[in-house]
Structure formats: structure tokens, C-alpha cells
């Protein structure tokens, strides 16, 4: 329904910078996921888009209109709050109905829309309860229903599924994506869950300490990380980051040698994902530190020098600890980062 | 000698963890302990509340002429219920109390709603608290001066061109009642204001933000969300204040003495007049007991109804 442009927005709390110099173009109908560690400024960014927080610098444009100083009420944005923010004095039915009443939706449409929203979050049987009589996960779903009951310009969802069990979370995820595609509402979604981010997003924004680290499709973020922060944040277990030196096309660290392009020189960090490491070969000479079978794969931790390297081994792999082991890296999937943490790319 | 081996921590260094000896109390003391804790409150209750209360009930069954007590059974009660002055006092109390209470609740709510977000509210609170900190009789005297003896208010209104000459505030029934209401509102609005500010500040800010995003204007946020959430606090505050107003005495005693023609005589003043002007102690006691019963019944129903429909 509307594109969102953030132009150099910034939020300071006294001397502390919550969000710094953030520029982002969110396309109409896009599903954008904000991902980052706790306290990196995700909620603050959402609140600025919603109009609940005034940026201390920069401009916010929604649907082509400058909105930086427009009141939250006039932005036509629906938000799922991290803390639910249900109205404690109203039943769930009245909670979901409140935005319809306030936005002047004809009363004859209310009932059908409320029941549709409640059914979507599987809360149909709880409509006459007060929020105080619901579990945490049920409250969260009620908050989601209240946000999606009307069709706003923008959805903002701040960890809307964080309190649900794995099964419900999976089905809600599908519901949210289906609904977003159907209603074609531009959506900004915050999560800590990488699976959620990967499955829902058209594009992912990785944030750290109030600044954007990388913006890209889930594939780009995963297979083409821009810096060590993104590389170490995405994936579970995350990418191995090994500090060493490179010269003449060879990377060397204690217990590790690997081929590298000629243009990689000096102090660098080698990144390699656990699934691109295989038992055998000659890139790592180390000791088995731990073996963790999980059912469908076995995680092997190898100690090379003082560095622990995670390896995704075959399902049936087993070993005692403190036994010598050799590891092979898939040479097509090695990443090199400079001293500043940024990816070193060829002159190409 | 203790034989337990010193525990060994992960890095192989022996560390001795000192164990504090468990403390024990004698069983007798342990049994008496709850009663010891309760004792001060119980003594206070007995001396201050229960003894005078029981004494009043007992006395209300006699016609008392100083030391000469004559059994009257429920005679005092039946004559009170036929006493026109008693019913007038009851009506006055209800009328003055209801107007005063609604005014102070409304004003306090309005100021609280506009002021609670003010970062300087801490400073304001002290200013607002001041009227409450004055001695009630001093406040009554100030208002007596302002309205009647000193004619301050007449003078001010005269200078504004609203009235001519001096108003006789005790000369008309509505005006006399109004002076009592003004004094009470002035002194007690701050009490309600502070309670309401605390209630508003305790509300989750996100709820109001959610309402704004849902498209609610501030009057509808107040009406649909803030007010219902404050309901239990408002009920308790009104109950406390209501009990206080029902027993309103000081202002009447100092400012109007029940004039004109008993139009400002409240229940408390009626009881005082019966007891200490006419020395009908038994009669006054019976009126106090009736008033106590009435207050308790009203307070009970108000609180019960408010909290039940609030929960559901
Ligand atoms: N009102 C405030 N005053 C001062 N600092 C604040 C305020 N609100 C947020 N912050 C700070 O700004 C930073 C970003 O906060 P924000 O709530 O956006 O984090 P987040 O990314 O949503 O984290 P989480 O994943 O834990 O919800 C935090 O370090 C927080 O302490
Ligand atoms: Mg947050």
C-alpha cells in the first residue's frame, strides 16, 4: 500500500545513540525483516516509523508523503507491540474491535472481520475473555489479531511470535506470510529467530549497535555476508571465523592452512561455515573437543591451536575426545575479511 | 571434628566453603511471635475504636441526664427516626457531600490527566499538597475570614464588577451551603489529584500508544482506556473521601454553625448539638450508631459493586 523511505534517521537518548544515520528504502508490498542482537535499535526504528518516537535527525517518508512529524494517529500504521499492549479492561473481542471503531469502519462489518482475524490466530474460542485471563502466547496472538483486523498502509510487527511454541509458531508464520501476500501491505517485522527471518523476508536488514550492517535477500545475507558481524550472526551454528595471516595465496593460522586468492594479504580473518567443513583432508590438524549428535546431523567441535572450529559432520559420525582429527574446507565457500572486519573482495 | 572433605573446584584448587550455623528460636517464642506482632495494632484498635464504639452502643440504650442513666431500650432510636431535624441533617449531608465530592473528583481527574506527563510533576505535587497539610480548623478559619468576617471574596467579586456591596454568604441557603463546598473542595482536591496522578503514571504507556495507532483521539483514549483502567483507584479514593465528607464537622462548626435555619447542619453537627449543647448523650449516641451503620452499608455496596463489575 505504501513504500517507506528512511533518510539518515537518527535517535539519540541524551549522549547515547540508539539508532545512527539509518537510510533504508522499503518498497511497496515488501516484507522486510529487521534482525539483530538485543538492544541494537530494532524497536526504536519501528517506533520512529510508527510515529511514537520523534527522530532526532533525518526524514521519514511513507507512501511518498513526508511523515517525520506527523502524529502516530494519522499515519495509518498498525503495530504489534513487543509487550502486547492489550487493553486490560476490554474483552478480546472488544480489543480487536477497537481499531475498527476508531477508524470508522461501518459497524455492520465488525463482527465478520473480528471473527476472521481471531480465527487466523486460532483464538476464536477466547473472544469473551479479558486479556488477564489469557496465557502469554494467547495474548500475543490477540495483539496480532488486533493489528491485522484492518488493512492499514503499513504493518509493524515487533517479535509477534516470540512467546509461541514451535508448532504454533510455524503455523502462524505461514498465516502471516499468506495474509501479507494477500493484503499486499508493506510489512516491517522484527525477530530474533533466524528461521523466521529467512522464511518470511523478501529482504533482511541486519543491525548492530544502532547501525545497519547489511541489507539483502536471505540468500545474499547467508551466502554473501558483508562483514564478520553478519557472518558470525547468521547461521546456526554460525560461521567459523579464524584469525591468521595470508601471503602468496596461502592462509595460515595455528593448526590451519587454506588456499586463498592472491589479493588477500596480511592479517585477515577466514570465514567458513560448519556445513562447508568435512572430516578428512588437510586444512585443519586438530583434536576432537566435543561431539554432539542431534538426530539428523552431528556437530563436531575441533580444537586447532586455541581456536574451536565447528563442523557439521555426517549423521553417524562418532569419536572420542582428544583424538587427532583432520578437516577439509570446501575451497569454493571460503570468505576472507580484512582487519576492519569488512569482506575482502577481488578487483573484479 | 568435621570430616567432610573440602570441595574441589573445576580448576583443581581446593576451596573451603564456610557454612553458617542455622539459627534457632525457642518453640515458645515461635508460637507467641505472631501475637507479639499483632499486639500493637490490637491494643490500638481496642482503645481507640472498639471501646468508644461499644460504649456508644451501650449509652444509646439509655436516656442520660449526666450521672442519671435511665433504661430506654430502643426508645432513642425510634424518636430519632421521627425527628425532623435528623432527617434534615441527613439530607444536608447527602446534598453537600454529593456536590462537593463530584466537584473535587472531576477537577482532580481533569488536572491529573493533563498534568501527569509533565516532567516537573514532582515539584507541582508539593505545591498541590499544601492545602492538605494545613490543620482543618485553620483552613476553616481562613475560609470563614475570606467569606464572612474579612469579606475578602465579596471585595474581590466587587472589584471584578460582578456584585455590588457585600454579599451575606450566610443569608441564603444555597450560598451558605456553597461556602462549605468551596472550602472542602479547596482542601481535598489535591488529595484526589495525587492519587489519580499516581494511578495514571502506573499505567503501561504502550497501551496508550497502541490506542493512538488504532486511531483513537485523546478524549476517546481517556474515556475508553485510561478511565476504565483507573476505576478501582477512583472507587477507593471516592469511598475514603465519601466517608470523610459524611462526617464533615470542622467547617460547619467554624464557618456556619448550621445556619441559616439549619440548612447547613450536617449529621456530625447534629450529633454534636444533641450531645454537647442539649446534653442528650443517649440520643446523640444513638444517632452516631445510626450514622456508622449507614456509612458502612453505603461504603460496602459501592466497593463491592465497583469491583465485581470491574472484574467479571
Ligand atoms: N527511552 C530510552 N532512553 C534511553 N535509552 C533507550 C530508550 N529506549 C531505548 N533505549 C536504548 O536504545 C537501544 C535500542 O533499544 P531497542 O528497544 O530499539 O532495542 P531492540 O533492538 O528492540 O532490542 P530487543 O531485541 O531486546 O527488543 C537500547 O540500548 C536501549 O537501551
Ligand atoms: Mg525490541
Mean pLDDT taken over chain B: 85
Nearest ligand 1 atom, CA A34: 21
The pLDDT of residue A308: 94
- For the ranges A256-260, B23-27, B52-56, B261-265, the lowest mean pLDDT is seen at B23-27
Q: Residue with C-alpha cell 509458531?
A: A169
Contact call for residues A329 and A277 (beta carbons, < 8 A): yes
CATH code assigned at B244: 1.10.3720.10
pLDDT at A270: 95
Residue A86 near chain B (CB below 8 Å): yes
Contacts of A242 (CB under 8 A, 6+ apart): A253, A256, A269, A270, A271, A272, A304, A307, A309
User: In this structure, what C-alpha cell is assigned to residue B133?
Assistant: 497539610
Predicted confidence at residue B130, as pLDDT, reads 83
**Quick check: CB of A64 below 6 Å from ligand 1?**
no
Asked whether the beta carbons of B260 and B170 are under 8 A apart, the reply is: yes
Note the pLDDT of residue B311. Answer: 47
Note whether residue B35 is domain-resident. no
- Structure-derived torsion over alpha carbons of residues A83, A84, A89, A94, reported in degrees to the nearest 10: 170
- Going B199 to B205 to B210 to B211, the CA torsion angle's sign is positive
Spatial CA neighbour of B177 closest among B209, B136, B147: B147
Per-residue pLDDT reduced to its tens digit, B122-141? 777 778 788 888 888 899 99
Q: Which three cell numbers stand for residue B59?
A: 449509652
**Residue the block writes with cell 486490560:** A88
pLDDT in tens, B151-162: 888 888 888 888
- Looking at residue A347, its pLDDT comes to 65
Q: Where are the alpha helices (DSSP H) in A215-295?
A: 218-223, 228-233
Per-residue pLDDT, B150: 74
pLDDT band at B46 (very low <50, low <70, confident <90, very high): confident
pLDDT over 50 at B9, yes or no: no
Report, as an integer, the average pLDDT of A218-240.
93
For residue A348, pLDDT beyond 70: no
DSSP calls for A283-308 = EEEEEEEEEEE-SS-EEEEEEETTEE
Q: Is A11 in the pocket of ligand 1 (CB under 6 A)?
A: no
Q: Cβ of B72: how many Cβ atoms within 10 Å? A: 18
B119 touching A, CB under 8 A?
no
| Helix count and strand count (H, E) for chain A | 8, 19
**Would you call A78 an interface residue with chain B, using a CB distance cutoff of 8 Å?**
yes
Identify the pLDDT of residue B309. 57
* Domain-embedded: residue B1: no
Q: What percent of chain B has pLDDT over 90?
A: 37
Cα(B114)–Cα(B125) distance, integer angstroms = 14
Chain B residues whose CB is inside 8 A of the A90 CB are: 224, 228
Mean pLDDT confidence for B163-169: 80
pTM of the shown model: 0.80
**CA A107 to CA A97: how far, in whole Å?**
10
Q: What is the CB neighbour count within 10 angstroms for residue A88?
A: 15
Residue A87, SS3 per DSSP: coil
pLDDT value for B1: 42
Contact (CB<8Å) A83/B204: yes
**What confidence score (pLDDT) does residue B10 get?**
46
Q: Domain for residue B208, yes or no? A: yes
Helix (H) or strand (E) holding A180: helix A166-183
Residue in A75, A85, A90 nearest the CB of B206? A85
DSSP H stretches of helix in chain B: 27-44, 51-59, 75-81, 84-115, 121-133, 136-144, 152-159, 173-201, 205-213, 218-221, 227-246, 250-251, 267-272, 281-311
Any idea what the Cα angle at residue B113 is, between residues B108 and B114, rounded to 5°?
105
Report the C-alpha gap between B306 and B235 in whole angstroms. 7
Interface touch A89/B220, C-beta < 8 Å: no
**Residues of the domain holding B135:** 85-311
Mean pLDDT of B225-249: 90
Predicted ipTM? 0.85
Please give the pLDDT value at position B15. 54
Look up the CATH architecture of domain A240-337. Answer: Beta Barrel (2.40)
Alpha-carbon distance of B186 to B143, in angstroms, equals 10
> Does any ligand 1 atom lie closer than 6 A to the CB of residue A40?
yes
A298 has a pLDDT exceeding 90: yes
Residue A328, beta-bridge partner list: A278
A98 at the B interface (CB within 8 A)? Answer: yes
Is the CB of residue A14 below 6 angstroms from any atom belonging to ligand 1? no
Half-sphere exposure of A56 (CA within 13 A, CB side): 13
The full set of domain ranges for chain A reads 4-228, 240-337
Q: Is residue B69 part of a domain?
A: no
Percent of chain B with pLDDT over 70: 93
Which residue in B207, B214, B312 is closest to A99 by CB distance? Answer: B214
A143 contacts: CB under 8 Å, gap ≥ 6: A80, A81, A84, A85, A86, A160
Chain B residue with minimum CA distance to A96: B214
pLDDT higher than 50, residue B66: yes
The B residues from 206 to 225 touching A (CB cutoff 8 Å) are 206-207, 209-217, 220, 224-225
Which of A60-64, A266-270, A334-338, B26-30 is predicted with the least confidence, judged by mean pLDDT?
A: B26-30
Answer yes or no: is pLDDT of A29 > 50.
yes
pLDDT at residue B3 is higher than 50: no
Q: In this structure, is residue B198 part of a structural domain?
A: yes
When comparing pLDDT for B306 and A111, which is higher? A111
Report the nearest atom of ligand 1 relative to the CA of A36. 21
A67: contact with B, CB 8 A cutoff: no
Q: What are phi and psi of A159, to 5 degrees?
A: 45, 60
Buried b (16+ CB within 10 A) or exposed e, A95-130: bbbbbbbbbebeeeebeebbbebbebbebeebbebb
Using a CB–CB cutoff of 8 Å, tell me whether B308 touches chain A.
no
B55 and B67 Cβ atoms separated by less than 8 Å: no
Which one is predicted more confidently, A296 or B118? A296
Nearest to A52 among B209, B224, B228 (CB): B209
Q: What is the pLDDT of residues A49-87, one digit of tens each?
A: 999 999 999 999 999 999 998 999 999 999 999 899 999
Distance A117 CA to ligand 2 centre (A): 24
CATH number of A4-228: 3.40.50.300
- The answer for residues whose C-beta is within 8 angstroms of residue B103's C-beta and 6 or more apart is B181, B185
With bands split at pLDDT 50, 70 and 90, how would you rate the model's confidence at B2?
Answer: very low
Total tally of structural domains belonging to chain B: 1
DSSP 3-state of A74: helix
Cell numbers describing residue B309 = 463489575
User: Which residue lies with its CA nearest to atom 10 of ligand 1?
Assistant: A18
Interface of A with B in 23-62 (CB under 8 A): 50, 52
A37 Cβ inside 6 Å of ligand 1: no
Q: Does residue A238 carry a pLDDT above 50?
A: yes
Amino acid at each position: 500500500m505504501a513504500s517507506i523511505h528512511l533518510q539518515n534517521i537518527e535517535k539519540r537518548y541524551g549522549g547515547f545513540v540508539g539508532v545512527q544515520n539509518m537510510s533504508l528504502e522499503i518498497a511497496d508490498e515488501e516484507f522486510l525483516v529487521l534482525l539483530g542482537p538485543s538492544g541494537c535499535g530494532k524497536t526504536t526504528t519501528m517506533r520512529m516509523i510508527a510515529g511514537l518516537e520523534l527522530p532526532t535527525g533525518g526524514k521519514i517518508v511513507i507512501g511518498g508523503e513526508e511523515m517525520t512529524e506527523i502524529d502516530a494517529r494519522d499515519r495509518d500504521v498498525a503495530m504489534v507491540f513487543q509487550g502486547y499492549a492489550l487493553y486490560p479492561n476490554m474483552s478480546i473481542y472488544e480489543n480487536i474491535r477497537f481499531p475498527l471503531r476508531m477508524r470508522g469502519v461501518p459497524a455492520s462489518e465488525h463482527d465478520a472481520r473480528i471473527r476472521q482475524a481471531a480465527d487466523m490466530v486460532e483464538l476464536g474460542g477466547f473472544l469473551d475473555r479479558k486479556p488477564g485471563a489469557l496465557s502469554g502466547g494467547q495474548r500475543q496472538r490477540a495483539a496480532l489479531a488486533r493489528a491485522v483486523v484492518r488493512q492499514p498502509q503499513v504493518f509493524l510487527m515487533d517479535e509477534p511470535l516470540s512467546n509461541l511454541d514451535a508448532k504454533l509458531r510455524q503455523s502462524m508464520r505461514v498465516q502471516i506470510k499468506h495474509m501479507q501476500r494477500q493484503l499486499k501491505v508493506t510489512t516491517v517485522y522484527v525477530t530474533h529467530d533466524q528461521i523466521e527471518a529467512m522464511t518470511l523476508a523478501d529482504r533482511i536488514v541486519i543491525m548492530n549497535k544502532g547501525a545497519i550492517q547489511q541489507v539483502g535477500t536471505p540468500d545474499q545475507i547467508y551466502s554473501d555476508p558483508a562483514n564478520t558481524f553478519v557472518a558470525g550472526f547468521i547461521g546456526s551454528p554460525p560461521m567459523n571465523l579464524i584469525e591468521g595471516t595470508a601471503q602468496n595465496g596461502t592462509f595460515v593460522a595455528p593448526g590451519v592452512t587454506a588456499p586463498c586468492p592472491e589479493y588477500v594479504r596480511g592479517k585477515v580473518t577466514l570465514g567458513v561455515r560448519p556445513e562447508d567443513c568435512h572430516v578428512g583432508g588437510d586444512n585443519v590438524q586438530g583434536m576432537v573437543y566435543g561431539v554432539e549428535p542431534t538426530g539428523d546431523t552431528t556437530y563436531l567441535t575441533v580444537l586447532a591451536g586455541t581456536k574451536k572450529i565447528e563442523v557439521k559432520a555426517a549423521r553417524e559420525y562418532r569419536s572420542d575426545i582428544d583424538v587427532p582429527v583432520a578437516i577439509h574446507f570446501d575451497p569454493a565457500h571460503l570468505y576472507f575479511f580484512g582487519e576492519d572486519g569488512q569482506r575482502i573482495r577481488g578487483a573484479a | 571434628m568435621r570430616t567432610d572433605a573440602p570441595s574441589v573446584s573445576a580448576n583443581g584448587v581446593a576451596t573451603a566453603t564456610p557454612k553458617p550455623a542455622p539459627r534457632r528460636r525457642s518453640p515458645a517464642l515461635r508460637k507467641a511471635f505472631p501475637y507479639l506482632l499483632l499486639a500493637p495494632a490490637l491494643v490500638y484498635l481496642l482503645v481507640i475504636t472498639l471501646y468508644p464504639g461499644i460504649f456508644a452502643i451501650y449509652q444509646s440504650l439509655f436516656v442520660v441526664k449526666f450521672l442519671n442513666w435511665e433504661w430506654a431500650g430502643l426508645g432513642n432510636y425510634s424518636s430519632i427516626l421521627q425527628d425532623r431535624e435528623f432527617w434534615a441533617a441527613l439530607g444536608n449531608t447527602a446534598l453537600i457531600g454529593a456536590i462537593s465530592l463530584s466537584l473535587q473528583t472531576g477537577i482532580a481527574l481533569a488536572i491529573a490527566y493533563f498534568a501527569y506527563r509533565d516532567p516537573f510533576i514532582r515539584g507541582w505535587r508539593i505545591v498541590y499538597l499544601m492545602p492538605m497539610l494545613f490543620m482543618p480548623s485553620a483552613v476553616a478559619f481562613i475560609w470563614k475570614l475570606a467569606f464572612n468576617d474579612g469579606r475578602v471574596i465579596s471585595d474581590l467579586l466587587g472589584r471584578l464588577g460582578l456584585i455590588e456591596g457585600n454579599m451575606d454568604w450566610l443569608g441564603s441557603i444555597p450560598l451558605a451551603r456553597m461556602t462549605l463546598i468551596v472550602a472542602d473542595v479547596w482542601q481535598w482536591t489535591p488529595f484526589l489529584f495525587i492519587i489519580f496522578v499516581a494511578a495514571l503514571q502506573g499505567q503501561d504507556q504502550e497501551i496508550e500508544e497502541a490506542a493512538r495507532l488504532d486511531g483513537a483521539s485523546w478524549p476517546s483514549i481517556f474515556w475508553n482506556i485510561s478511565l476504565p483502567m483507573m476505576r478501582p483507584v477512583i472507587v477507593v479514593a471516592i469511598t475514603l473521601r465519601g466517608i470523610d465528607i459524611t462526617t464533615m464537622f470542622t467547617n460547619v462548626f467554624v464557618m456556619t454553625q448550621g445556619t441559616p435555619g439549619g440548612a447547613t447542619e450536617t449529621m456530625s453537627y447534629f450529633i454534636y448539638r444533641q450531645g454537647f449543647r442539649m446534653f442528650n448523650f443517649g440520643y446523640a449516641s444513638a444517632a452516631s450508631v445510626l450514622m456508622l451503620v449507614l456509612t458502612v452499608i453505603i461504603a460496602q455496596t459501592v466497593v463491592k459493586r465497583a469491583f465485581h463489575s470491574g472484574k467479571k
